[in-house]
Amino acid sequence: MDKKQIYHSVKLEKDKCVGCTTCLKRCPMECIRVRNGKASILYELCIDCGVCVRICPHNAKVAQTDPINEIFRYKHRIALPAPTLYGQFRNVTSVDHVLSALLSLGFSDVFEVARAADIVSATMRELLKTTTARPLISSACPAVVALIQVRFPELLPNVANVLSPKEVAGKMAKEEYSREHNVPIEEIGAFFITPCPAKMASIHSGRSGYVDGAIAIQDIYGLLSSQLRQPVSEKIRKKRHASWQGVNWATYGGECASLHRSNTLSVDGIHNVIYALEEIENGKLDDLEFFEGSACEGGCVGGPLVFENAFVAQNTVRKLVERMREEDGDLPPALPAPRDDILTDPCAPRDTLKLSDNIAEAISMMERIDELTKTFKGLDCGSCGSPTCRTLAEDIVLGYAKEVDCVFKLKEKVEQLARQMVDLTNL
């Protein structure tokens, strides 16, 4: 994917933006600027985490996903529901009701992403035996993978070269459907039912090409709710289902739990993930076997495109998993065999903002940025339209901002001019 055009799901609806700077202060990548009363995104740094979508009080930041009608571009249409979808319906007693409701929206078939998660778990267990990278870092959350590509490229060799569950689901769903119905793969469209913009972005940046689109959970929640009381379809009854362990991936820690290793770490929330990655980069967590980072708090149930409150959804998933475990006699599920065909090329770094291609010039610009930063108050107030004093210094050196964008510098300048005026009138 990495040398291809990167698609971004998160966009600004400029008309709605009032330039309040709320998003600028919370963006974990410091990639929002507010100039002339409007926000803009430096897409070279954006990881589509959706923090700004969640917090903009004016709904000016939006996550673009595919409308449900997109599925009808394909003769055969498969829904790939994230396990998070099950957590949206408080009274659901079986995933079969949700899967049947998806068929009623016009899908020809469904393939649980939780089932693919079981395969990823099995493959990851094997990888832990053969790879020496420690900690091995999960490739499941695309916002975390993008974060590593942009900000922690030294850690890229630690990222597991395994397709994410949604990509494995797309691959297997198409292969199985093509075989069973004797139709060409090109006629089959696989659509992920997504909790977050990062997954939409990764699908349309085309890392694997196994998934053709992403539909936001919140966009089809109402349609699905109205269908949940319908009897379970015979087709769904006969399907192979995911284990409770795969469904448990909806909440953070689910992936680590599926590995059955003691020395693993799960961290949720993008700011916490950044802190943990800094620790890994500094060699402070070298004894760790596996690291699972989720950009959203609580894991995928906390995604910005879900309908249900993250805590309630977490509880619903937990109850569902408990029920499934009881039905299984509380035994660990028999995982499918690991698969070599879901291994991928290693992740490459992304091209990000550079000061200059000329090293000497870049060093001199860096020195200028350091000097300028020292002249600011260090309050990181954001009033200048850059998220921190240092980013303002960078913006000035790159020619995107002026020193007087800083309110304190402006005040100094005005006071200086006032003094000069007084001096002139006294002549």
Sign of CA dihedral 267, 270, 272, 275: positive
Binding mask 34-63 for ligand SF4 (x = CB under 6 A): x----x-x----xxxxxxx---x-x-xx--
How far, in Å, CA of 377 to CA of 346, rounded? Answer: 42
Smaller CB separation from ligand SF4, 48 or 292: 48
346 DSSP 8-state letter:
P
Smaller CB separation from ligand SF4, 60 or 120: 60
Q: Which of 196, 255, 254, 224 is nearest to 95 (CA)?
A: 224
Beta pairing partners, 79: 110, 191
Residue 297: CB minimum distance to ligand SF4, A: 14
Which helix (H) or strand (E) is 325 found in, with range? helix 310-327
Residue 56: CB minimum distance to ligand SF4, A: 3
Smaller CB separation from ligand SF4, 22 or 314: 22
- Assign 86 to helix, strand or coil: helix
The two three-digit tokens of residue 419, written as one number: 């003094």
Q: Which of 82, 73, 76 is nearest to 108 (CA)?
A: 76
Asked if 17 touches ligand SF4 (CB under 6 A), the answer is: yes
Q: Which of 2, 7, 19, 343 binds ligand SF4 (CB under 6 A)?
A: 19
Smaller CB separation from ligand SF4, 117 or 217: 217
253 DSSP 8-state letter:
T
How far, in Å, CA of 50 to CA of 41, rounded? Answer: 12
Residue 79: CB minimum distance to ligand SF4, A: 26
Asked if 200 touches ligand SF4 (CB under 6 A), the answer is: no
Asked if 145 touches ligand SF4 (CB under 6 A), the answer is: no
Asked if 20 touches ligand SF4 (CB under 6 A), the answer is: yes
Asked if 10 touches ligand SF4 (CB under 6 A), the answer is: yes
Q: Which of 326, 323, 330, 321 is nearest to 117 (CA)?
A: 321
Smaller CB separation from ligand SF4, 41 or 259: 41
Smaller CB separation from ligand SF4, 29 or 79: 29
Beta-sheet pairing, 264-268 with 290-294: parallel
Binding mask 60-89 for ligand SF4 (x = CB under 6 A): xx----------------------------
Asked if 18 touches ligand SF4 (CB under 6 A), the answer is: yes
| Angle formed at CA 320 by CA 318 and CA 321, multiple of 5 degrees | 65
Q: Which of 349, 80, 33, 67 is nearest to 193 (CA)?
A: 80
207 DSSP 8-state letter:
S
Annotate 179-194 with b (16+ C-beta within 10 A) or e (fewer).
eeeeeeeeebbbbbbb
Asked if 21 touches ligand SF4 (CB under 6 A), the answer is: yes
How far, in Å, CA of 102 to CA of 110, rounded? Answer: 7
Binding segment for ligand SF4 (CB under 6 A), chosen from 23-31, 78-86, 103-111, 395-403, is 23-31
Which residue is it, tokens 């009138």?
Answer: 425
Smaller CB separation from ligand SF4, 33 or 115: 33
Binding segment for ligand SF4 (CB under 6 A), chosen from 15-23, 126-134, 320-328, 419-427, is 15-23
Smaller CB separation from ligand SF4, 47 or 127: 47
Residues that bind ligand SF4 (CB under 6 A): 10, 12, 17-23, 27, 29, 31-32, 34, 39, 41, 46-52, 56, 58, 60-61
